[in-house]
Structure 1
Amino acid sequence: MHVEVVGQLNAEHTVVLSSGLGGSARFWQPQLAALTPHYRVVLYDQLGTGRSPADLPAGYRIADMAQELFEALDAVGVDDCHLIGHALGGHIGLTMALQQPQRLRSLVIINGWHQLSPHTQRCFSVRRQLLDHIGPAAYVEAQALFLYPPTWIHQHAAELAGEDQQVLSHFPPPDNLRRRLEAVQGFAMSDAELAQIEAPTLLIANRDDLLVPWTCSQQLEQRLPRARLAMLEFGGHASSVTQAEQTNTLLVEHLTRFSVLPFNVT
């Protein structure tokens, strides 16, 4: 996979940024100015997306994505880290925390879930129909509707038009996207599994998220032993983009606490 290590390369603490369904490291651009002055930051294009070309196999799972990230971190010499994941990226973080808990100092999940909501399932079904029966251009044009609030789309129309063209020009093989959609739809963790996760976890949710009901984060908070929920009123599913300043403040507060305190502190 394409992996970038930026920021303070000799810092004691490493922050890994794991994107959602799109898989691209570019998603985290609004966070870099807040994180790179203090941390070593690892970004990566998930396998089969962006600068990490591959043909993903049938039956590809979130567990495979977690294993790929373990191997990537080993390759760049990162033994433990704070992981920040958006949606699917949060699923990767939960899986890592369950499989190799010693590797995660803390976890942040932005608009994630542990059981797929029927509402989110319906959204994914629509996206799959667009991909299969209309094509990539329609899939990309619809993507902003699931990610951003209507007023934000109105205010950033020209910027989004340029972004759509860039995404379309680098659109992944459709079979890869189908495999990734199936993986995220197939992800689930039981209450018993979540109860085993000891990583201190910040959950960030948005009340106006069109794709994932904010109650999914509330359910995670109730099941994870060391979780707290920060609720944003505005920002949609991709609030790390639309509410970057507020999101960055939450991230820095969380990372500061669990960088100063000893590893595994309550």
Structure 2
Amino acid sequence: MTLTAENTSHFVELPSGRMHYHEAGSGHPLILVHGSGAGASGWSNFSPNIEALAEHFHVFAVDVIGWGESDAVKDGEFVGPVQIIEFMDALGLDKAALVGNSMGGVISIAAAARHPERISHLITMGPGVFTNIPPLFTAGDGPTEGIKILLQAYLDPSVETMKKLVSIMAFDPAMASDAIATERARATLARPDHIGNALQGFKSGKLTGYQATPAEAAGITAPSLLIHGRDDRVVPYEHTLRLVATIPNSRAVLLNRCGHWAQLEHADEFNRLVVDFVTNN
């Protein structure tokens, strides 16, 4: 059976809110955690990966609280890694591998640092780390062009803006198709509560305020695979160089001709990397 967004869709009630997720496969649990962009969700960020990974693992692609079909954040508080542990508890998952893109990577790093007994493997793609320590997302002159267009997409979730967003997120301009831009715009406009919460989260700094400190990251015990696009215009790859120098049992993979969405632009290679890493570590 071909996997679709509809036939893999589920909901679960958590203390932090009602969470939507996609589920497929069997075996060791693998939780996919998406980024913070307008219109982002478990399916939009991982649709080329879910079926391939489900041939080897029990895959869960979550909609983070505040995105997709999940509940809005409560009182402007972004729960970050807490929701991952709540999700595992609700589904009876003692231990799982985490795969996080961008904000999802920040969430996954914090979960691995604070709940080492629950996280078997850590895999990240383009997370911004230690952003309270210079240099932030930039060489020193303000947010990157990717962060700027990400914010613009929340302020003006039109198809035209979404095409700009996708063109900056990806290295390959062909990814900025009308179909992808239209779906991103539709998904964003469908949840005005998510728009307001995300903008407030960026402004207040709470959106990723739960991130792990360097000391916490240095204590991560899970085998860690840190993937980054050489051409990432949202989060420079130096963030991953800093991270691989901090996490003791880690390795970094730098992909040329690759932007912020390694799992989408280089799906086949990404899937092979994840399967090999989780299977053999």
Tell me if TM exceeds 0.5. yes
Matches within 5 A, 1:20-31: 20-22=35-37, 23-26=40-43, 27-31=45-49
Task: Please list, as runs of the form range in 1=range in 2, the aligned pairs for 1:139-150 lying within 5 A after superposition.
Answer: 139-149=161-171
TM-score, normalised via structure 2 length: 0.80
Instruction: Name the TM-score, length of structure 1 as normaliser.
Output: 0.84
Which residue of structure 2 lines up, in the alignment, with residue 80 of structure 1? 95
Aligned position for 2:11:
none
What secondary structure sits across from 1:163 in the alignment?
helix
Report if aligned partners of 1:50, 1:172 keep a CA contact under 8 Å in 2. Answer: no
> What do residues 181-238 of structure 1 show as CA deviations (whole Å, max 9, x unaligned)?
3334545543322211111100001111111111110110001111100110022101
Q: Give secondary structure in 1 for the equivalent of 2:206.
A: helix
**Deviates most, 45-54 or 111-120:** 111-120
1:191–1:245: structure 2 CA closer, same or farther, 3 Å change rule? same
2:72 to 44, 48, 54: 54
1:201 is matched with: 224
The DSSP-based 3-state class of the residue aligned with 1:115 is: coil
Do the aligned residues in 1 keep the contact of 2:144 with 2:233 (CA within 8 Å)? Answer: no
Alignment-mate amino acid for residue 40 of structure 1:
H
Question: 1-side partners of 2:106 and 2:179: how far apart?
Answer: 29
Report which of the two has the higher share of helix: 1
**Shift, 1:93, TM fit:** 1.0
Please tell me the residue identity of whatever aligns with 2:258: G
User: 1:101 pairs with 108, 111, 116, which one?
Assistant: 116
**Do the aligned partners of 1:20 and 1:89 also contact (CA within 8 Å) in 2?**
yes
After superposition, the Cα gap between the structure-2 partners of 1:77 and 1:191, relative to the gap in structure 1 and judged at 3 Å, is same
For residue 160 of structure 1, the aligned residue among 180, 196, 199 is: 180
- List alignment gaps of at least 5 residues for structure 2: 1-18
Residue in structure 2 matched with residue 225 of structure 1 by the alignment: 248
Shifted more, 116-125 versus 68-77: the winner is 116-125
Work out the CA distance in 2 between the residues paired with 1:234 and 1:3: 30
Gaps spanning 5+ residues in structure 1: where?
A: 259-266
Equivalent pairs, count? 248
Q: Hey, what does 1:213 align to over in structure 2? A: 236
Q: Describe the shift of the 1:189–1:76 C-alpha distance in structure 2 as closer, same or farther (beyond 3 A).
A: closer
Q: AA paired with 2:198?
A: L
The answer as to whether partners of 2:144 and 2:235 remain within 8 angstroms in 1 is no
Quote how far apart the aligned CAs of 1:3 are: 2.8
1:243 CA displacement:
1.1
* Matched-pair identity in %: 26
